[in-house]
Amino acid sequence: MISLTLSILSSTAIFVLFKLFNKYNVNTLQAIVINYITASTCGILLYDQQIELSKIINTNWLYSAIILGFLFISIFNVMALTAQKNGLSVASVASKMSVIIPILFGILIYNESLGIRKISGIILALVAVYLTSIKPKKDVVLTKAVYLPIILFLGSGTIDTSVNHYAPEGKMPLFLAVIFAVAGIIGLFVLSYKSLKKHQQFNKKSIPFGIALGIVNYSSMFFLLKALRVDNFESSSVFTINNVAIVAVSCLTGLLLFKEQITKTNWLGIFIALLSIVLVTL
């Protein structure tokens, strides 16, 4: 439970940092690239064995890590486009509701338990995610570029499912390091292209914010994987608790730190989130 709590807090910290990006006019793309480089470095530093490139090339998880690295940065861009085209609420709901994909994977592929109480908890969790994420915005248009939230939903769910499924035992830091390194390399190419094409200057603020983001980003993934490997704790339960808790805690953090408006619907979502956690964990 400690690992799961640390994952939830780390994911909430990501939300806080993205809010601070706007406040301090941080170049998001530059900070994201530094974030991936930092996260990859964290994985290398935390790996307690000697790193040999020849052995990494011959591992059975290398290609999975490369594809996931590509997905990481691609889905991030899809998330940004979804927020711009369909509204922030639609982007938030699409990414968070994708938790149903790893939940179903755990139940169908890993043959995890599925009782009435657990089913009720999962359904309530999805309801809570929706109610907590929606905001009273007039600019939310689902029919415009409707393919974007669909791609975001499928991509986010695929990432969560694949990272858990392909992460090798005893080599999780190295596995995550490769994923983040691939995402960082792709990001560097994109950043270089935009710098040459649009003559963008490097923003020094991107360095400290990118490093901070990289540390909490790595922590959120690392501790989630550790929680998923705790005995007698099924992945469908872990993903349900992790996802719904992040939404609820982020909502409360927005209220406390940024004075964001929380509607009655959001409060209802937070209450249902707590109820779903109780049902899933019992």
**Residue 138: pLDDT above 90?**
no
pLDDT at 157 over 80: yes
Interval 208-264: pLDDT, tens = 999 999 999 999 999 999 999 987 789 999 999 998 998 889 888 888 888 888 889
Token code pair at residue 198? 């649009």
Burial class (CB in 10 A: 0-12, 13-18, 19+), 196: exposed
pLDDT tens per residue, range 164-201 = 999 998 899 999 999 999 999 999 998 888 888 877 78
Distance (Å, rounded) from C-alpha 127 to C-alpha 96? 11
The helix/strand count (H/E) of the chain reads as 12, 0
Q: What is the pLDDT of residue 281?
A: 80
Classified as helix, coil or strand, 48 is: coil
Q: Which of 276, 278, 280, 282 is nearest to 126 (CA)?
A: 276
pLDDT at site 22: 79
Share of the chain above pLDDT 90, in %: 50
142 pLDDT above the threshold of 60? no
Are residues 82 and 91 in contact, defined by beta-carbon separation less than 8 angstroms?
A: yes
For residue 251, give its domain range. 2-281
Model confidence band, residue 105 (pLDDT cutoffs 50, 70, 90): very high
Q: Is the pLDDT of residue 136 over 70?
A: no
Name the nearest CA neighbour of 206 among 76, 77, 36, 25. Answer: 25
Q: Is the pLDDT of residue 5 over 60?
A: yes
**Domains in the chain, number:** 1
CA nearest to 206, candidates 19, 29, 2: 29
Residue 37 has pLDDT above 90, yes or no: yes
For tokens 């085209």, the residue is 85
Chain segment 7-33, per-residue pLDDT in tens: 999 999 988 898 888 788 888 889 999
% helix, strand, coil for the chain, step of 5: 80, 0, 20
Q: pLDDT value at position 44?
A: 95
What is 98-165 written as a DSSP string?
TTHHHHHHHHHHS-----HHHHHHHHHHHHHHHHHH----TT--TTTTTHHHHHHHHHHHHHHHHHHH
**Confidence check: pLDDT of 2 > 70:** yes
> What is the identity of the amino acid at 58?
N
Helix (H) or strand (E) run with residue 262 in it: none
Is pLDDT of 144 > 70?
Answer: no
CA angle 35–41–46, rounded 5-degree value: 125
Q: What is the mean pLDDT of residues 40-48?
A: 94
